[in-house]
Structure 1
Amino acid sequence: MHIRFDVPADPAYPGRVAAALNSVRLRRYGYVGAVLAAAGAIGLAVSRGFGWGDRISPLCTSMVVVGLLSMLYSPWVQWRARRRSSHYAVEGGYDITDDNIMMRSGSESGGIAWDGVTQVRETAEFWIVYVGRMPATVIPRRLMSAGDAETLRAFMASRSWLPDVAGSDGPPSR
């Protein structure tokens, strides 16, 4: 397999990459925030029903506020990443082989060996490639030709990182 494609100097592209990588890292804040807000709201309702409002209300109100702030943290970080990274728009490209993923962006280049990849997750626009437990890079599907995307998808499915195209082999993406 040898797939090569270019990434145009689109000011919105670095922001979409940053948002995709940050959404993976920050998802837990939304879950924790939802639990805190729900527990605080339940605590407020129960404390008012039993007349414990004076003692419990400040704690429950704090839980609701912290929960809401925690849920808003991820969108705020993604918005900031998109806003800051829009200045980094340079031409680049990908060169993907059976051995590694080579990426270049302007005068910088780097790569990831497939041997170090532990999982791949699919989003609407990208394949997010993990090394260990951390997302290391993204592969933009919409910038590839349809044939190259299917070739790469089959390669990743053969390594059990993605479900098989036909849906018959391999576990679902982790």
Structure 2
Amino acid sequence: MHIRFDVPADPAYPGRVAAALSSVRLRRYRYVGAVLAAVGAIIFAVSRGFAWGDQVSSLCLALVVSGLLSMLYSPWVRWRARRRSGRYAVDGAYDITDDNIMMRSGSESGGIAWEGVAQVRGTPDFWIVYVGRMPATVIPRWLMSAEDAETLRTHLADRGLLRPR
């Protein structure tokens, strides 16, 4: 297998990559925020029927506000990443073989050996490559030909790396 494709110097591309990687890393903030807000609302509703209801209302308000802020943290980080990364647009390329994934962006290059890849998760736009438990890089699907995308998908499935979303 040998797949090679170029990445144009599109100002939106680095933001899309940053959003894809940060959405994976920041997903837990949505869950924690939802739990905090729900617990605060439940305690507030239950405490209204008891004499100590007035004493815990500030705690409940703090839990709900903390939960809402936690849920808003992830979209805020993605928005900042997209806004700031537009100036990093440079030409790049991917060179994917049976042994590794080589990436070039401007004058810098790097690679990941398939032996170091723990899993690959698919999103509509990218394959997110994990080294250990952390997302390390992305492979953009829409920049590949349909035949190359299918070849890579088959390669990932044969290696047992492709995980459902």
User: TM-score w.r.t. structure 2 length?
Assistant: 0.97
- What's 1:173 paired with? 164
RCO higher in 1 or 2 (8 Å CA, sep ≥ 6)? 2
Which amino acid in 2 is paired with 1:140?
P
- What's 2:90 paired with? 90
Structure 1: 4+ residue segments shifted above 4 A: none
CA positional deviation for 1:50:
2.2
Q: Which runs of 5+ in 1 are unaligned?
A: 163-171
- What's 1:130 paired with? 130
Which amino acid in 2 is paired with 1:160?
G
- What's 1:67 paired with? 67
Within 1, Cα distance between the matches of 2:49 and 2:156? 55
Within 2, Cα distance between the matches of 1:12 and 1:129? 20
Alignment of 1:8-157 (within 5 A): 8-157=8-157
RMSD: 1.0
**SS in structure 2 at match of 1:16:** helix
CA positional deviation for 1:51:
3.5
**SS in structure 1 at match of 2:39:** helix
Deviates more, 1:49-58 or 1:151-160: 49-58
Which amino acid in 2 is paired with 1:9?
A
Which amino acid in 2 is paired with 1:173?
P
CA positional deviation for 1:161:
1.6
Within 2, Cα distance between the matches of 1:52 and 1:142? 58
Are 1:119 and 1:173, in contact at CA under 8 Å, matched by a contact in 2? Answer: no
CA positional deviation for 1:48:
1.0
CA positional deviation for 1:5:
0.2
CA positional deviation for 1:173:
3.3
Which amino acid in 2 is paired with 1:129?
V
**SS in structure 1 at match of 2:142:** helix
Which amino acid in 1 is paired with 2:164?
S
Which amino acid in 2 is paired with 1:128?
I
| Identical pairs, percent | 80
CA positional deviation for 1:110:
0.4
CA positional deviation for 1:160:
1.2
What is the number of residues matched between the two proteins? 165
User: TM-score w.r.t. structure 1 length?
Assistant: 0.93
